[in-house]
Copies of this chain bind each other. A is one copy, B any other.
Amino acid sequence: MSARELHLNAFLMGVGHHEAAWRHPRTDPGALDDVAHFQNLARIAERGTFDSVFLADSVQVWGDVRHTAAGRFEPLTLLTALAQATDHIGLIATASTGFSEPYNLARQFSSLDHISGGRAGWNIVTTAQDRSAQNFGREVNTGHAERYQRAAEFLDVVTSLWDSWEDDALVVDQEAGVFADDAKVHEIGHRGRFFSVRGPLNAVRSPQGHPLLVQAGSSEDGKAFAAAWAEAVFTAQQTHDEATAFYADLKRRAEAVGRPADGIKVLPGIVPILGGTEAEARSLAAELDSLIVPARAVRQLTDLIGVDLAGHPLDERLPPLPPVSHVNGAKSRFELVRDLAERERLTLRQLLGRLGGGRGHQVVAGTPEQIADHVELWFTTGAADGFNVMAPLLPSGLEDFVDHVVPLLRARGLFRTEYGGRTLREHYGLPRPVSRYSAITV
């Protein structure tokens, strides 16, 4: 195995990432309400020695209720249930810095880290949508820059709380009645623009010190935030050129703020549509796209890019879009959609098909060898440290990947055959942070 190790994350999404997955005969929509389904997915990924599983999240009803497979589970609770069904695999939950209190989120991630023996990760999102803000007392969401300013302060508070009990704070002397060395338990005394938090956290330091910090924003603000905080980045590039540029840029930004380039892992999303032959794979892709309900897809695209396309004719090209500086949503996703539509001169209907598989992530249809070639190429040529695997159908698409692609990656010496470490940080080859308070007293 090469010194540099490939990393794989299994992005779990209901019965599949394709927006019409629930309509396909290879899925069971009843599984959406079944914890055992998700536990099965986590076990499949663990059989494939994936680094982690990941659950996205939002704080609003998303898209068109009529045509969208609705969820039941909230990530932190569901991942706790997955922790009980697995032994090694990392567990990454999305949570927004926009609508929670840092004390509460710090505790819940610390708790998941304790419960799972050091396997918790947090995918940090700032949440762009007004519709989300309307569930939290505001008609209109705050601006893009301010959301990232709040996120940065949020992270400062949360990591301080995670550090507030030093690793050796516990004494547990039954005879003397001393449980903890109070000199090693710290108020954080944070007073900032968005938050004032006294601390300490009411939980001792967790196995990883800090649960793994993951992020996905790719705007200027997003990349600056990632460079400062993220240890793994889920990203969405459609082409190798875009991916290598993003990869190099992010590593450079990390180094510019004093972090090692390999301290931040870049994992583009990939929707692998697998077939025994390329024709078989393409046929499955076409079959899935034929199940898309256009009205639903238009509404989801509207939510995604923040431009109302409800009245636009399906077989015409997109209307002129506003400059990205006017967009208060997910800027990088907006640019991706705009560039894709312009580059390939797509009609709205064609664009919906291209987005239906992976909501902007690259869809690769082919044989296991072709998928493995793609992974190897991107991994070995500066485009990726690994992949965020978004199976179009679940569980079958993940099973296919684990049974047919992972063995090829292992045979090529690219991917582990068993877990070498115990914690999520160890899987990603990342160090356990020292408490900032320990650092001061040394």
Question: Chain A: residues with CB nearer than 8 A to chain B?
Answer: 20, 22-25, 29-30, 33, 35, 58-62, 64-74, 76-78, 80-81, 83-85, 99-101, 103-104, 107-108, 110-112, 114-115, 131, 134-138, 165, 170, 172, 174-175, 177-182, 185, 195-204, 206, 291, 293, 296
Contacts and interface: CB of A to CB of B under 8 A. Distances in A.
A309 B246 CA distance: 60
Contacts of A25: 174
Given A80-B81, A99-B103, A103-B59, A177 B65 contact: no
A180 B134 contact: no
A99 B76 CA distance: 18
A20 to B, nearest CB: 7
A180 B66 contact: yes
A73 B115 contact: yes
Nearest to A60: B202
Which of A58, A65, A200 has the largest count of B CB atoms less than 10 A from its CB? A65
Contacts of A178: 66-67
A192 to B, nearest CB: 10
Contact of A197 (B76, B108, B114, B136): B136
Contacts of A204: 33, 70-72
B137 A195 contact: yes
A137 B196 CA distance: 4
Contacts of A196: 134, 137-138
A272 B85 CA distance: 35
Given A81-B115, A111-B72, A137-B197, A22 B203 contact: no
A170 B23 contact: no
Contact of A179 (B60, B68, B81): B68
Contacts of A67: 177-179
A336 to B, nearest CB: 24
Which of A33, A135, A165 has the largest count of B CB atoms less than 10 A from its CB? A135
Given A61-B200, A67-B177, A70-B179, A78 B135 contact: no
A367 B131 CA distance: 60
A296 B61 CA distance: 47
B198 A134 contact: yes
A394 to B, nearest CB: 15
Given A170-B70, A203-B71, A65 B180 contact: yes
Nearest to A185: B65
A146 to B, nearest CB: 17
Contacts of A59: 103-104, 107, 202
A177 B23 contact: yes
Contacts of A81: 80-81, 83-84, 115
A31 B198 CA distance: 28
A197 B138 CA distance: 8
A177 to B, nearest CB: 5
Nearest to A157: B135
A66 B197 contact: no
A20 B177 contact: yes
Given A59-B202, A104-B59, A115-B35, A76 B77 contact: yes
